[in-house]
Chains A and B, each alone.
Chain A
C-alpha cells in the first residue's frame, strides 16, 4: 500500500474560540478538520473538568486536522493569530495518509 507524508496538527483551545479558529483554518485553505470534546485536564491555568461547567467559558475542545506539509506554515500562522493570547496547546506531528488528494 502506498502512503503519503502529511502533517497532523492538534490544537487544544477554549471552547468559545472554536468557531474563530475553524474560520481561520478555512481561510488558510484547510478543507477538513475534526472537533473533539475534551473531558478535563490540568495546565498552567489550573485543573478543570468538563462535568458541571455552567457555560462554555471554561470548557475546552480539540481541533485536529491533517494537511500536506507545504501548507503547514500558512495554517500555523492563521491558527496562531487566533490562539496566541488564549489558554491552549498547539502541536504538530508527522503522519502518513493513504489518499493524498484529500488533504
Chain B
C-alpha cells in the first residue's frame, strides 16, 4: 500500500500531470490560454507516430510470440463486452435514457489513445517493459464498442439510431488515428532498431516534452468541458465516470493475467480497458446516434474519466499489475 501511495504521489508531481492540471486550472479560471488547433493536431500526429513506431521496433527486436493473436482477440472481445457492462451500470446508477446510455457505453468500450501514451510513459519512467504489440491491441479496441452500442439501441426498438452505413464503417476503420498508429507500427516493425536509431533524436528525446504540451491542451479542453457540461453531471453520472474505469481495469487485469502478458502488458491492457474514447467514438455517435446528448458523453469521458485515469488510475493499475504478476520495475 505504501508503494502504491508513493507511486501515486510520484505520478501526481510529474511534468505530464502538472501540465494537464495547469490546462484544467487555466480553463476553469477562464484564462485565454489556448493551443492553436493546427499545433494540437500536429502534436497528436507526432505522439501517435512515435508510439506506433516504438511498438513496431519492440516487436521487431523481441519477435512475435503466439500471444499476439490472442491479445488482439482479447482486445476485440473486451471492446465489444465493456459497453454492455457500462450500459447496465448506467441504467442502475443514473436515470439516463436508453439512447444516451448506449452512446456513453460505446465510449467506455473503446479506448483513449492519450491515456495509453501517458501509460507507456509512466511504465518507461519506472523501467517496466511491455509487449510492443499492445499498440496493435489498442487499435483493435477502437471500433467494436461502436457496434455494441448500436446493437443496444436496436435491441430497445432502434428509435434514434441511424445505424451503420458503408461510409461510417470506412470512417471508423480508416480513422486517421488508427491508420497512423497501425502504419507507424508496421514501419517500426519493418525497420527495427536500425530504423529507430536513425530517427531516435526526433521520436524518443522530445517525446515527453511534446506529451506535456499535448496534455496541457487536453487539460484546457477537459476544463472547458467541465465548465460547460458541469450541470449535467448528477452524482450518479459522476460516480459512473469513476467506477466504470475501475471495473474496466479489473476486467483488463483478469484478461491480461489469463493471456500471460508481462507486468507492463497487463498494466497497458488495464489502462486500455479503463479508458474512454473521446476522438473516434464521439464522431461515430454523432453520425449514428445524432439524438444522443454529446455533452453527456464528452464531459464524462474527457472531463471525469480521463483526468481520473491520468492522475490516480495509471499508478493504481501499474501497482496492481506489479502485485499480481510478481513483476518489479
Seen from chain A, the residues whose Cβ lies within 8 Å of a Cβ on chain B are 14, 16-17, 19-20, 45-47, 49-58, 85-87
User: 10 pairs across A/B with beta carbons < 8 Å?
Assistant: A16-B286, A47-B228, A52-B40, A52-B217, A52-B221, A54-B278, A54-B279, A56-B283, A86-B290, A87-B290
CA distance A47 to B229 in the complex (A): 10
Complex contact A52–B220 (CB within 8 A): yes
CB-based contact B294/A58 at 8 Å: yes
- List residues of chain B with CB within 8 A of the CB of A54: 40, 218, 221, 278-279, 302
Number of interchain pairs (Cβ within 8 Å): 60
The reply to whether A55 and B283 contact each other, CB–CB distance below 8 Å, is yes
Establish whether residues A52 and B283, one from each chain, have CB atoms under 8 Å apart when the complex forms.
no
Q: Write the nearest CB–CB distance from A44 to chain B, whole angstroms.
A: 12
**A-binding residues in B (CB < 8 A):** 34-37, 40, 162, 167, 171, 217-218, 220-221, 224, 228, 278-280, 282-283, 285-287, 290-291, 294-295, 298, 302
With known contacts A51-B37, A52-B35, A85-B162, A17–B218 Cβ distance under 8 A: no
> Which of A46, A50, A86 contacts B286, CB < 8 Å?
A86
A72 CB to closest chain B CB (Å) equals 25
A51–B218 CB distance below 8 A: no
Closest chain A residue to B44, Cβ basis = A54
Q: Given the interface contacts A45-B294, A85-B290, A86-B290, does A51 sit within 8 Å of B36 by beta carbon?
A: yes
List, in ascending order, chain B residues with CB within 8 A of A51's CB: 34-37
Q: In the docked arrangement, what's the CA distance between A52 and B40, Å?
A: 7
Q: Are B302 and A17 in contact (CB under 8 A)?
A: no
